Chains A and B, each alone.
Chain A
Amino acid sequence: MGPDRAAIDLWQAEVDTLITRIARHRDVSALEALYRLTSARLMGLTLRMLNNQADCADLLQELYLKVWQQAHQFGGRGSAWGWLCVMARNAALDQLRSRQHRGQELTRDIQPLMETLPAPCNDAAVSPGLERCLQALREEQRELILLSYIHGYSHQELQDLTARPLGTIKSWVRRGLQELKQCLER
């Protein structure tokens, strides 16, 4: 495991601890520390979906208020960071669906995303798992998974973008995620 992974693990452990402090002690300073640790990443996550700073700021305000009120619902079965990501994505998706239109052009270019990810290598011991396994997918599967997961594109939007049949898109995404899972469990 490289130092970056170790740093991320420490960072995630800190996020877990803060959520627990919020749930047990109603500690506003813990919420502030959580905000300092996670808000920029969550802002990036939501901005890639909503493409609007003001909307994202409003969304984050609601999200941290929800964390304050629902921290006790975090069951500790996975990481608190994963829990936060799911909540942020769901809130962004709700906002996308309540808009009449997305407010930005659909983009099919995943290259900037892929370039941002750490370069994978074949050595599973040193290469970050998800990036390595994404690279191992067929190009179409990787494209669809990244566009739906990172930008929040619906199946319909993916169909508009790729001009592929809806059934094909669903099938590729489903199979791609299964292959991703198998690769990560190796």
Chain B
Amino acid sequence: MPGALRYRDPELCDQLASRYVTARMTPLSRRRLERLMRQEPVLEQAVARWADRMAPLHEALPAETPPAELWPRIKAAVQTAGDDGISPPTASRGPLFMWRTIAVTAVAAALALAVALWAHFPQRAETVTASYLAPLSHNGVVELVVSGYPGSPAGKAQLVVQWSRRHLPSDEGPLYLWAEDQRSQTLVYLGTFSGQNHHWTVSRTQWQAVAHSSRLLVSPDRDKADPATAEYIGPCLQLGDWQEKG
């Protein structure tokens, strides 16, 4: 069964849901499933069923009274937070408006974050500056930045992956970086990395792919990638003088 259609298969959904609810998933897989749940009602239903199957255990086991000062802390945090981050569905405006709003907000936030991150991330010791910057996000939150440094001499172009400070120490296994061509939407594999900061040299072909890409994305699979199910995805930003030579 191809692509996202797999997640409409009740049997597969049930297996994934049992693994999710009983926490037999890596953080990366868990986040991917949470995103898929929002798109696939069958999967969301399967997770709800497993959650309800297992929840009685927590009803039966002993409760523990939390510290007395906890509720005042929560109340203060709620009042400070106000309605930040809340986007309840609105009946008067259609889903198209909502998605447009989300898309515009996400792009604006990504650009602002990219500039801020680029300014604050430690730069390489060399005087070479990045030609290319891609803030890659998950659920609208930028989690890592990929910078592209032109090669000198030719053929030594480098990609640098820097994770945000909030990123948890990874036990997620290898991740795979891809460039999406801005015209054909074909994907070109750029290399692999893990939960740590990392840099590597790319071939001339790969650098050209970066130069012609509209966005970069990260998949958990070496053999395939799909923007719809990418772990992290973000636009390419061209910085300063663009050089396509690698």
Contacts and interface: CB of A to CB of B under 8 A. Distances in A.
Given A40-B64, A41-B59, A128-B60, A149 B54 contact: yes
B18 A177 contact: yes
Interface string B54-94: 11111111111111001101110111010111111100000
B146 to A, nearest CB: 24
Q: Binding site of B, secondary structure by majority: helix, strand, loop or mixed?
A: helix
Interface string B30-71: 100000001001001101110111111111111111110011
B68 to A, nearest CB: 10
Nearest to A66: B85
A180 interface: yes
A173 interface: yes
Contacts of A81: 55, 59
B22 A61 contact: no
Contact of B78 (A31, A43, A85): A31
Interface residues of A, number: 66
Contact of B77 (A61, A83, A86, A173): A61
Contacts of A35: 71, 74
A43 B64 contact: yes
Which of B14, B38, B51 lies at the interface centre, i.e. has the most chain A CB atoms within 10 A of its CB? B51
The 9 closest A-B pairs by CB, nearest first: A78-B48, A82-B51, A40-B63, A77-B48, A72-B88, A43-B64, A82-B52, A44-B64, A82-B55
10 contacts: A31-B78, A57-B66, A61-B70, A65-B77, A65-B78, A70-B85, A70-B86, A83-B51, A97-B168, A129-B56
Given A82-B51, A97-B171, 16 more contacts: A8-B59, A28-B79, A40-B63, A56-B66, A65-B78, A69-B84, A72-B86, A72-B88, A78-B49, A81-B55, A81-B59, A86-B51, A90-B30, A130-B54, A130-B57, A170-B24
